Structure 1
Amino acid sequence: MDIQAEKLRLIEWLAGLNDPNTLQELITLKKDTEADWWDEISAEERADIKEGMLQSENGQMIAHEEVMKKYKKWL
């Protein structure tokens, strides 16, 4: 099976598809098969992101320029 040729045939078929029900089924299938990056990261990474968001909401931020200046030697 030539996967690239199959993809092109599907694209052509999809481009000509006018049935809203079939389109909705395909959209649902796509959503069901996609992995959410949030579920793929570790609990520690999620906790760090949540902490950063909370800090941002509380105005506890450092300007990008300051961070870049401080860590320039490692970048």
Structure 2
Amino acid sequence: MDVQAEKYKLIEWITSLEDISLIELLQSIQQKTALHSFRFSDEEKQKILQLLEKSEADIQNGKVFKHENVMNEFKEQYGIGK
């Protein structure tokens, strides 16, 4: 199977579509595929693990804020909800 040729056939077919629900379905497939194809480098994985460990330590040491308090501070700072 010539993958490039098949891709071009799909592109031609997609550009001729008029059914919005089918286009939305294809967009949904694209988004899900993009999420699954994302890969972290080894360096990125290590950094994420370090950040997770630090976050866990902060939680254990009580270095956390209540969501309500953060939202109230944000609203006050930006004059929201007055």
The TM-score normalised by the length of structure 1 is 0.51
Percent identical among aligned pairs is 30
CA distance in 1, matches of 2:47, 2:11: 40
Partner of 2:27: 27
Where in structure 1 are there 5+ consecutive unaligned residues?
48-75
Partner of 1:5: 5
- The count of residues paired between Structure 1 and Structure 2 equals 46
1:45 deviation in Å?
4.9
CA distance in 2, matches of 1:29, 1:18: 18
Partner of 2:45: 42
Q: Which amino acid aligns with 2:45?
A: S
Q: Which amino acid aligns with 1:33?
A: T
The secondary structure found in structure 1 opposite 2:35 is coil
Q: Which amino acid aligns with 2:47?
A: E
Q: Which amino acid aligns with 1:44?
A: K
Where in structure 2 are there 5+ consecutive unaligned residues?
52-82
Q: Give CA-to-partner distance per residue, 1:10-67, whole Å, 9 cap, x none.
A: 0100010010000000000000011375x733251584xxxxxxxxxxxxxxxxxxxx
The TM-score normalised by the length of structure 2 is 0.47
Q: CA RMSD in A?
A: 2.3
After superposing on structure 2, the runs of 4+ consecutive aligned residues of structure 1 that deviate more than 6 Å are none
